[in-house]
């Protein structure tokens, strides 16, 4: 079976984890300190704080900005539900906005419209764009809207570690950027995540929020606010650290595979059987999702691909379709089509262009019997 994705763990990374296990320093330690510093350097930001998942990253970011009951946060319709869950967990209301068909990310013009027309009853506090699958959102537009209406910006860069635009890395354009190290992401620590920020005050608050609400005081650590435990372990940090130097070359390999997909899919694209995303040079290619023409039933396509030993899956969810976070204020359309017809194809560094050809020829057969 050609899998949708496979983690890329070297023997060197495995022995680094074993070394930490032998050291007995299991929670916070040298590996976590170094991984935070190395990630901050890689991203080009002042501070990185490791946390236990991408969802924890989103939650501490929103909490650190004092977002809670009576507040509202703009998020895209097409994403992983954790984006909305993190907002709901704080007590705030997610305001769901449609995405762009060409790159699956939040439509910045709709964000501006929602902010301009906002009438409450909640206080609109933040925009949470998602760099879906590694495509960098137009952050200039998002930040312009945020400045104009006094909103915070929390980037859900869970699938976008290494994605960049105009020399800046995804996750460093807003107040806080949130990353996930789940095995479906390019760099993995099993479970894990991180927040990135340039603000010393937000960094201190997020360190406190991940660690039982404790802050350093004159006589040692003190409990200063109610919070939970969102720490990453030292051995997970050791695993992540050994992958970071490889990340950019892995993304380059993913670009080659994505370009091979687009090229080999061209007969299907020309017939309008499938459409493919825009692949900007800064895309991190965490997932490669195509969209099937509405005449095809995706569930049977997935089943028939599996019969040909190729694992495929839906790409992400439409929050409005799931219906768990209240009614949308605006009419949405694109996210629902992407949710219904999106098909994620295998994408990981250790697959080859010949694997891409296998996937595409199976797909042509499944769609057209040829
Ligand atoms: C993976 C993902 C998350 C959640 O990350 P976890 O580490 O699984 O909690 C959140 N948002 C997006 C867009 C994701 O892709």
Kindly list the distances between the CA atom of residue 142 and the CA atoms of 105, 145, 173, 326, 334, in Å, as whole numbers in the listed order: 12, 5, 10, 24, 19
Q: Among 61, 78, 80, 160, which residue has the most ligand 1 atoms within 8 Å of its CB, making it the best to mutate?
A: 80
Enclosing H/E stretch for 202? helix 200-210
Rounded (10°) angle between helices 234-243 and 11-23 = 160
Task: Check residue 330 and give its pLDDT.
Answer: 73
> Which tens digits make up the pLDDT trace of 255-295?
999 999 999 999 999 999 999 998 999 999 999 999 999 99
DSSP string, 49-63: EEES-HHHHHHHHHH
Distance 268 CA to ligand 1 centre (A): 31
**In angstroms, rounded to a whole number, what is the distance separating the alpha carbons of residues 114 and 122?**
13
DSSP-derived 3-state class of residue 285: coil
What is the CB < 6 Å shell around ligand 1? 53-55, 79-80, 82-83, 130, 156, 158-159, 180, 182, 193
> Which tens digits make up the pLDDT trace of 62-83?
999 999 999 999 999 999 999 9
Task: Check residue 133 and give its pLDDT.
Answer: 97
Task: Check residue 328 and give its pLDDT.
Answer: 76
Task: Check residue 331 and give its pLDDT.
Answer: 77
Nearest residue to 138 (alpha-carbon basis) of 39, 275, 334, 282: 282
Give me the chain's average pLDDT, please.
97
Residues 12, 16, 17, CA angle at the centre, nearest 5°? 120
DSSP-derived 3-state class of residue 346: coil
Task: Check residue 370 and give its pLDDT.
Answer: 74
> Which tens digits make up the pLDDT trace of 317-347?
999 999 999 877 777 899 999 999 999 999 9
Q: Distance from CA of residue 161 to its chain's centroid?
A: 8
Residue nearest to atom 14 of ligand 1 (CA): 158
> Which tens digits make up the pLDDT trace of 163-219?
999 999 999 999 999 999 999 999 999 999 999 999 999 999 999 999 999 999 889
CB neighbour class for 12 (10 Å; exposed up to 12, middle 13-18, buried from 19): exposed
pLDDT reading at 129 higher than 90: yes
Task: Check residue 106 and give its pLDDT.
Answer: 98
214-217 vs 220-223, strand pairing mode: antiparallel
pLDDT reading at 232 higher than 80: yes
DSSP string, 303-338: HHHHHTTB--B---EEHHHHT-S---SS---HHHHH
Query: Confidence band (pLDDT; 50, 70, 90) for 355?
Result: very high
Q: Among 4, 7, 52, 54, which residue has the most ligand 1 atoms within 8 Å of its CB, making it the best to mutate?
A: 54
> Which tens digits make up the pLDDT trace of 99-128?
999 999 999 999 999 999 999 899 999 999
Nearest residue to 270 (alpha-carbon basis) of 287, 293, 254, 289: 293
Task: Check residue 332 and give its pLDDT.
Answer: 86
Query: Confidence band (pLDDT; 50, 70, 90) for 300?
Result: very high
71-76 vs 123-127, strand pairing mode: parallel
Task: Check residue 313 and give its pLDDT.
Answer: 98
Task: Check residue 289 and give its pLDDT.
Answer: 98
Ligand 1 atom with the shortest distance to the CA of 55: 9
- Segment 223-244 shows an average pLDDT of 98
**In angstroms, rounded to a whole number, what is the distance separating the alpha carbons of residues 215 and 255?**
43
Query: Confidence band (pLDDT; 50, 70, 90) for 23?
Result: very high
pTM of the model: 0.97
> Which tens digits make up the pLDDT trace of 130-179?
999 999 999 999 999 999 999 999 999 999 999 999 999 999 999 999 99
């Amino acid at each position: 079976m050609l899998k949708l994705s496979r983690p890329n763990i070297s023997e060197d990374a495995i022995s680094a984890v074993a070394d930490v296990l032998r050291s007995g320093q299991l929670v916070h330690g040298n590996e976590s300190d170094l991984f935070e510093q190395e990630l901050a350097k890689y991203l080009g930001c002042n501070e990185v704080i490791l946390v236990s998942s991408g969802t924890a990253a989103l939650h501490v970011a929103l909490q650190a900005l004092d977002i809670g009951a009576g507040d509202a946060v703009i998020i895209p319709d097409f994403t992983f539900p954790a984006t909305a869950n993190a907002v709901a967990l704080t007590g705030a209301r997610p305001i769901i906005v449609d995405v762009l068909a060409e790159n699956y990310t939040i439509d910045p013009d709709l964000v501006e419209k929602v902010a301009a027309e906002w009438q409450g009853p909640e206080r609109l506090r933040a925009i949470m764009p998602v760099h879906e699958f590694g495509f960098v959102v137009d952050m200039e537009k998002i930040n312009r809207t945020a400045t104009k209406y006094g909103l915070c910006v929390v980037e859900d860069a869970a699938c976008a570690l290494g994605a960049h635009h105009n020399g800046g890395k995804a996750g460093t354009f807003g107040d806080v950027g949130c990353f996930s190290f789940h095995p479906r992401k390019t760099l993995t620590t099993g479970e894990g995540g991180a927040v990135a920020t340039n603000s010393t005050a937000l960094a201190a608050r997020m360190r406190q929020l991940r660690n039982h609400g404790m802050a350093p005081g004159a006589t040692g650590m003190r409990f200063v606010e109610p919070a939970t435990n969102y720490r990453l372990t030292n051995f997970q940090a050791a695993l992540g650290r050994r992958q970071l130097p490889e990340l950019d070359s892995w993304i380059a390999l993913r670009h080659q595979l994505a370009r091979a997909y687009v090229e080999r899919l061209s007969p299907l694209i020309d017939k309008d059987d499938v459409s493919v995303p825009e692949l900007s040079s800064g895309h991190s290619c965490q997932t490669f999702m195509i969209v099937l023409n509405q005449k095809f039933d995706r569930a049977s396509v997935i089943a028939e691909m599996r019969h040909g030993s190729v694992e495929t899956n839906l790409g992400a969810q439409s929050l409005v379709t799931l219906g768990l976070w209240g009614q949308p204020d605006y009419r949405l359309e694109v996210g629902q089509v992407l949710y219904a017809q999106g098909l994620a194809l295998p994408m990981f560094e250790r697959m080859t262009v010949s694997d891409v050809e296998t996937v595409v020829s199976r797909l042509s057969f499944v769609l057209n019997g040829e």
